[in-house]
Amino acid sequence: METLREILMHSDEKDLQTLIDYQKNDKRFKGLDKYNKVSAIIDEISVNGTNTFQNILFKKNEYDSIVRDVAKQLKISYNKYATTDIIETEIVVKLISDEFKNMSVDQQKEILDNLGIDNISNISAAKLSEFAIYRLTAIAANAIARAILGKRLPFVASAALMRSMGIAFGPVGWGVSTAWFAFDLAGPNFKKTIPSIVHIALLRQKYRENKNLKCPNCQSPIPLYAKFCMECGTNLEKTTTSDINFIIPN
């Protein structure tokens, strides 16, 4: 499975800035190159996660431990052998499920239709397809960014994903109206830790989709934000999203 550093190093500057905004410590990141910026983000998340759960030894927690601690605080049941990405998804599912009951009937139907399921009880990491998990995570991450940062996320994704994202970016949408971010579980850093985890879950999905992109001319793999194909030189900036070949997971 991908490491946190691997995911962040393959993320673009706008996505990293969202994580920086969640940490509320802008001065620390000024003037840093990408490698050191990523290191600082990882350290901030570790410090905030450690402070959130009052680590008795005052040692900074690894990201996986922080994700597991958040899941426990949210009363999420998971297999102790579950990987970090599965637990990230269960956290996203918890937030969506808690919000679901406050949605209108039309909003509920739109969520379920977008995920290809007919009942909220079917929303779980084990029951959703990989592509549905991507959609669910994108919806949650964008809603949280709008609620906390007052902005929509910059979104570059496959045509198939974008067609299914109207609920997150359109007039219906949902605004995280439930008070999940007001939990008094362990202090104010909880409000930094949960948004960071959800955003990282989205970046993980972006990174995985990135591996599935192919040049429309020579079919060579291309990075999501590439301007030119490194193999044949095709100008990807002049290529429409629908022209790029995406391998959508089943």
pLDDT digits 0-9 by tens, 213-225 = 677 788 777 765 5
Domain boundaries, the chain: 4-210, 214-250
Residue pair 206/224 in contact (Cβ under 8 Å)? The answer is yes
Q: Looking up tokens 């429309």, which residue turns up?
A: 216
Residue pair 224/210 in contact (Cβ under 8 Å)? The answer is yes
Q: Which pair of tokens denotes residue 184?
A: 């008094």
60 falls in which pLDDT band (50, 70, 90)?
low
Task: Give the per-residue pLDDT at 248.
Answer: 35
The answer to whether residue 4 scores a pLDDT higher than 50 is: yes
What is the C-alpha to C-alpha distance for residues 45 and 222, in angstroms, rounded to an integer?
A: 30
The answer to whether residue 130 scores a pLDDT higher than 90 is: no
| 3 state SS of 214 | strand
What is the C-alpha to C-alpha distance for residues 89 and 66, in angstroms, rounded to an integer?
A: 14
Q: Which comes out higher in pLDDT, residue 224 or 86?
A: 86
Task: Give the per-residue pLDDT at 245.
Answer: 44
Average pLDDT of the residues of the chain: 75
Task: Give the per-residue pLDDT at 122.
Answer: 65
The answer to whether residue 146 scores a pLDDT higher than 80 is: yes
Find the length of the chain.
Answer: 250
The answer to whether residue 5 scores a pLDDT higher than 90 is: yes
Task: Give the per-residue pLDDT at 53.
Answer: 54
Q: Which comes out higher in pLDDT, residue 41 or 182?
A: 41
The answer to whether residue 87 scores a pLDDT higher than 90 is: yes
What is the C-alpha to C-alpha distance for residues 65 and 189, in angstroms, rounded to an integer?
A: 15
Q: What is the mean pLDDT of residues 171-175?
A: 43
